[in-house]
Structure 1
Amino acid sequence: MLVFVLWSIRESERSIPVINYHQINPVDKDALTVPPHVFAAEMKYLHDNGYHTISPDELYAYLTNNTPLPPKPILITFDDGYEDNYTYAYPILKEYNMKATIFLVSDYMDRFDKYLTWQQVYEMSANNIYMGSHTLSHYELTPLSTQDMDIQLVGGKLAVEWHTFRFCEFIAYPCGSFNTQVLSETKKAGYKGGFTVYYDYVRAGDDPYKLSRIPIYGNLRLPMLRFWIRLKAAPVVGRLERLRASLLESNHDILAEFIPTP
């Protein structure tokens, strides 16, 4: 096990972590919400330890053309488009001059409480925050008909482009769910790449339409230690989480409790 962890740490030095957040606020106490002071500490750690934030376009150029990346590249992503990304995360990112990506559920913008306004989206998109698509309405894509799938893919893309005046060429699949048909329609819709929730690093040669990410959760004890473990040992933690999920699905709840998930 120790050898595997040491290998994973070495792997982290030559791979690209794509970290994934949802909400950043001091109110909600759930796994998808990271408190602002914890998020600030995580961004400070990245800044102080020489990480350089990149955009999806830079990652794509590296994967398809072997375009060089800066030392210790990292891609920071947020899913859904919560208003607190603007209120709490955006000022911290600006403080450290960091790039980030927000995947928007377009129908939720300017419509529901807790979600961004299009004016906020436009402001951030002009200041180092790339706006991608999380589809039109956050429907899981795999069960949909081809027609409904295209509405979600194309509609989400066009809405972002209409409101930001910038190309939207990357998507985060809702629930991380995709299959051959989803990949085919995603390409037809004009996206250059897609992000999953498969827990691992991105490496040279990876398919731009099946990009892994590392989830960063909130409401946990020792958040900085957990952040460091996830950042430095993603392949190990990912395998542990998948093993635990498999045990739970097969009703081996007691065994699942013995699987550590930092």
Structure 2
Amino acid sequence: MNKKIIIFELIIGLVLTGCNYYSHGKDNDNKHITVKQVSKKNKVADNQNKNTTARIYAKPEIPILCYHRIEYGRKSYYSVTPATFTAHMKVLADSGYHSFSPNQLYDYLVYNKSLPSKPFMITFDDSREAHFNIAAPVMEKYGFKGVFFIMTVTYNKKNYMTKEQIAQLAKAGHTIGLHSWDHVMVTKYKEADWIKQVINPKKELEKIIGAPVEYWAYPNGVYDHKGAVELSKYFKLSFTLISKRDSVQPLQTIRRMIVPECSPQGLLKSMHRTFSKQ
């Protein structure tokens, strides 16, 4: 009798174990399916929540500054002294401005996400060493982050940033973008130029910073519609200078203002004149 009971209990145990195994496997499958379904739903919802091109184009512009040279002894529309740059950052901080990143700008334009109060962006073209040695420390002193558009032909050359300095800026929380290989304007690109000026430099720059390069600044700030369409394949946003935006490609024609040698109050007035929302 005892043997029969033991055998019966063993059989019941095996049956229950099999049921539990089947149940767990089924649960895992259901979880796997659920994850896929949720992911698919999220993608659909994400696309549905995106602004239309018309809505993106209609959104108020945000002040975006563009600096080139920061040095003494040069009189140029593209140059400011280190003292002037410091004074600019101080007046912006004292006036309650907060820097924001291209990622934040993209989310603001596409998904209506909020920006910090009194937002502005600081950008730098041409990979100058002064951007690393002078601009970055001053910005960080005031709690600002910048966007550095790299012209990759300049790597490790005199008066330009090294690869290590570019990597350090990225590590410090600044944004690294591309400014072409050697500053040839997009309007002149032939098929091979897209590889030389955009595709290959983008890949190399991504290796240096260990992250995607998602933003572009047009050499000389010059673009055409064809170029903007092509750049949309590679970048989330592209930045011009004071050019009229393309209503069909507003994400690829974000306007910036060049900052010349001017007083701190002159900078604030220029920002108000140039952009529709402060």
TM-score category (smaller protein) = 0.7 to 0.9
Whole-Å Cα distance in 1 between the matches of residues 273 and 168 of structure 2?
35
Q: CA RMSD in A?
A: 2.0
Give the C-alpha shift of residue 72 in structure 1: 0.8
Give the C-alpha shift of residue 55 in structure 1: 0.5
| Structure 1 unmatched ranges of 5 or more | 1-13, 237-262
The residue correspondences of 1:215-230 to structure 2 (distance < 5 A) are 215-218=258-261, 223-230=263-270
Q: Secondary structure at the match of 2:180?
A: coil
Specify which of 173, 191, 197 is matched with residue 235 of structure 2: 191
Whole-Å Cα distance in 1 between the matches of residues 114 and 249 of structure 2?
16
Q: Which residue of 2 aligns with 1:162?
A: 207
| Structure 2 unmatched ranges of 5 or more | 1-59
Q: What is the one-letter code of the residue matched to 2:98?
A: H
Q: Secondary structure at the match of 1:171?
A: strand
**Does structure 2 retain, via aligned residues, the 8 Å contact 1:105–1:134?**
yes
Q: Secondary structure at the match of 1:58?
A: helix
Give the number of the structure whose residues are more often helix, by fraction: 2
Q: Secondary structure at the match of 2:250?
A: coil
**Does structure 2 retain, via aligned residues, the 8 Å contact 1:53–1:73?**
yes
Q: What is the one-letter code of the residue matched to 1:159?
A: E
Q: Is 154-163 or 63-72 further displaced after alignment? A: 154-163
Whole-Å Cα distance in 1 between the matches of residues 71 and 173 of structure 2?
21
Give the C-alpha shift of residue 53 in structure 1: 0.4
Whole-Å Cα distance in 2 between the matches of residues 186 and 170 of structure 1?
10
Q: Which residue of 2 aligns with 1:61?
A: 107
Structure 1 length as normaliser, TM-score? 0.77
Q: What is the one-letter code of the residue matched to 1:232?
A: H
Q: What is the one-letter code of the residue matched to 1:196?
A: T
The residue correspondences of 1:9-158 to structure 2 (distance < 5 A) are 15-110=61-156, 112-158=157-203
Count, aligned residues: 215
Change (3 A) 1:86 1:165: same
Give the number of the structure whose residues are more often strand, by fraction: 1
Give the C-alpha shift of residue 206 in structure 1: 8.1
Larger Rg: 2
Give the C-alpha shift of residue 92 in structure 1: 0.3
Whole-Å Cα distance in 2 between the matches of residues 77 and 206 of structure 1?
21
Q: What is the one-letter code of the residue matched to 2:153?
A: D
Is 1:211 matched up with 2:254? yes
Q: What is the one-letter code of the residue matched to 1:134?
A: H
